[in-house]
């Protein structure tokens, strides 16, 4: 299964939306990091300030241990702050943490041990996770009068602030991205309308039949979409120029073809009279009882046969010229069944070296068309089978219905057609060996005429060939 490619509209919308989303994510991360850094700097300043106060009161207390909650002239700790004073021998002189309700609780021995092992006495704040209900703290320590003083501030407010900001930015970012996608979809759709109009013109032109006949290309890109200052305008202008060149070329081709058809038709028509005269004089000379040498007799005989062959070629060329010019055919009901019977009977009388068979249904099959031309199609196909297959070949003419079509098939069990020749069998003057002249009496126009007549009736002709079976199928609308 092939993967469906994205349209330009979808690519622009999705690509721009992804860039907007990435830009918003980078901006949000930078904002959160900057805010957290700023908050931590403020928190570190408070930690150092608390460390200075704790060190001052530790020196005035002279190292006396005061239990938490006892009366003292020391100011109450800030909510979320931590104090710890260790004597020179490592004993705890004071420790406590101020809760949100203003009360203080003592630090556990594990928490004190963690502080002693994690925080150096260089007055630089360090993040320490005390676990339990306390969580992470920024803690600094210093030595003062033989005692070690610790002061810290909870990171809960910083974490809450950054979390809230993250949620706000995520919500705002989602709404902004949604609005951007909708806005981009509308904007890109409107911006690409000129390109859609240009593509529509190209699509309509691509459906025109440009292979033969007089061709008109009326479609052009509107003036509003040919502005040379815009990319789409340049495409539209170039497409108009291309269509103009194509129409001029097709008109020149059609003019040349019309002149050639008129020349072939006129030449064929003019040649019929002198050819008839040549045949007449040859027959007159042969019909006289005057003595004639064998060479003269054979020469007159060849003149008559070649004149007859040339007359047949001229008639074929004149017919093709008329069909190419679109000359209308007669439209009458033609009984294909009776036509097939007559064609096989004529073939049996003309070529006894082949075996001729007829395969038709009992009911009559009829089409609308020119009976004489359709007889010519069948006769050409049978003559082609007789000419290009060895004696003893069985040729079968069958007729059947296929939906709304009548299908006439000419099949033989001969050696088949060379695949290198099959693709150009319906070309005019086609032959299996271009280096040889024809010595079979064929003009090389039989299949071309059959195809032209069939197509003039709105039908088609095809060929299938393998060794020992070759089938020409003519399909005509019923």
The domain limits of the chain are 8-67+75-161, 205-327, 332-477
Average pLDDT over residues 147-168: 89
CATH code of domain 205-327: 1.10.287.130
Please tell me the distance from the alpha carbon of residue 133 to that of residue 150, in angstroms, as a whole number.
19
Q: State the average pLDDT over residues 64-72.
A: 44
Encode burial over 251-290: b for 16+ CB neighbours within 10 A, e otherwise: eeeeeeeeeebeebbeebeebeeebeebbeebeebeeeee
Which pLDDT band, with edges at 50, 70 and 90, does 167 fall under?
Answer: very high
State the chain's mean pLDDT as an integer.
81
Question: What's residue 451's pLDDT?
Answer: 87
Taking residues 439-458, report their average pLDDT: 76
pLDDT band for 210, please (50, 70, 90 cuts): confident
In which band, very low, low, confident or very high, does the pLDDT at 179 lie, cut at 50, 70 and 90? very high
N- to C-terminal Cα distance for the chain?
Answer: 39
Q: What is the percent of the chain where pLDDT is above 90?
A: 13
Assigned CATH topology for domain 8-67+75-161: Beta-Lactamase (3.30.450)
User: For the segment 366-395, what is each residue's pLDDT rounded down to a tens digit?
Assistant: 888 888 888 888 988 998 888 888 998 999
Q: Which residues pair with 266 in a beta bridge?
A: none
pLDDT of residue 437: 43
- The predicted pLDDT at position 64 comes to 42
| pLDDT(139) > 50 | yes
Looking at domain 332-477, its CATH class is alpha beta
Average pLDDT over residues 192-206: 87
**Does 63 have pLDDT greater than 50?**
no
Q: Say if CB 289 and CB 338 are below 8 A apart.
A: no
Mean pLDDT for the stretch of residues 60-68: 46
Report in angstroms the alpha-carbon separations of 108 from 54, 84, 246, 317. Answer: 19, 11, 93, 116
pLDDT at 269 over 90: no
pLDDT at 71 > cutoff 50: no
Please give the average per-residue pLDDT across 242-259, as a whole number: 82
Q: Are 116 and 99 in contact (CB under 8 A)?
A: no
Nearest-angstrom CA–CA distance, 98 and 82: 7
How does strand 136-144 pair with strand 126-129?
antiparallel
At residue 417, does pLDDT exceed 90?
A: no
The residue-averaged pLDDT of 352-361 equals: 88
Has residue 177 got a pLDDT over 70?
yes
pTM: 0.51
Task: Please give the share of the chain, as a percent, with pLDDT higher than 70.
Answer: 88
């Amino acid at each position: 299964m092939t993967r469906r490619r994205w349209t330009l509209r979808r690519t622009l919308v999705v690509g721009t939306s992804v860039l907007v989303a990435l830009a918003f994510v980078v901006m949000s991360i930078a904002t959160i990091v900057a805010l957290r850094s700023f908050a931590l700097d403020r928190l570190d300043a408070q930690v150092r300030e608390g460390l200075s106060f704790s060190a001052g009161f530790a020196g005035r207390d002279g190292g006396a241990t005061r239990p938490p909650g006892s009366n003292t002239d020391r100011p109450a700790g800030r909510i979320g702050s931590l104090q710890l004073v260790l004597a020179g021998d490592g004993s705890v002189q004071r420790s406590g943490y101020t809760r949100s309700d203003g009360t203080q609780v003592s630090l556990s021995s594990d928490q004190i041990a963690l502080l002693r092992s994690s925080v150096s006495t260089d007055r630089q704040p360090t993040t320490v996770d005390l676990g339990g209900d306390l969580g992470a703290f920024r803690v600094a320590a210093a030595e003062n009068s033989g005692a070690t003083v610790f002061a810290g501030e909870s990171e809960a407010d910083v974490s809450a602030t950054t979390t809230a900001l993250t949620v706000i930015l995520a919500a705002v970012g989602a709404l902004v991205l949604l609005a951007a996608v909708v806005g981009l979809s509308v904007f890109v759709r409107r911006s690409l309308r000129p390109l859609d109009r240009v593509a529509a013109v190209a699509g309509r032109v691509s459906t025109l039949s440009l292979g033969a006949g007089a061709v008109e290309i009326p479609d052009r890109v509107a003036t509003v979409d040919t502005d040379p200052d815009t990319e789409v305008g340049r495409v539209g202008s170039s497409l108009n120029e291309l269509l103009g060149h194509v129409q001029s070329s097709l008109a020149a081709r059609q003019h040349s073809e019309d002149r050639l058809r008129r020349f072939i038709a006129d030449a064929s028509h003019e040649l019929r009279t002198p050819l008839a005269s040549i045949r007449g004089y040859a027959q007159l000379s042969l019909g006289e009882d005057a003595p004639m040498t064998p060479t003269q007799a054979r020469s007159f005989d060849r003149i008559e046969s070649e004149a007859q062959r040339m007359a047949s070629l001229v008639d074929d060329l004149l017919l093709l010229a008329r069909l190419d010019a679109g000359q209308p055919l007669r439209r009458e009901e033609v009984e294909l069944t009776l036509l097939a019977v007559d064609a096989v009977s004529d073939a049996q009388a003309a070529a006894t070296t082949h075996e001729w068979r007829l395969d038709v249904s009992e009911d009559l099959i009829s089409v609308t068309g020119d009976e004489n031309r359709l007889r010519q199609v069948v006769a050409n196909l049978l003559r082609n089978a007789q000419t290009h297959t060895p004696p003893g070949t069985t040729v079968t003419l069958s007729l059947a219905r296929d939906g709304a079509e009548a299908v006439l098939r000419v099949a033989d069990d001969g050696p088949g057609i060379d695949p290198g020749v099959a693709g150009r069998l319906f070309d005019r003057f086609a032959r299996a060996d271009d280096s040889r002249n024809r010595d079979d009496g064929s003009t090389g126009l039989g299949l071309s005429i059959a195809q032209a007549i069939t197509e003039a009736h709105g039908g088609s002709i095809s060929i299938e060939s393998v060794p020992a079976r070759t089938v020409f199928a003519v399909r005509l609308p019923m």
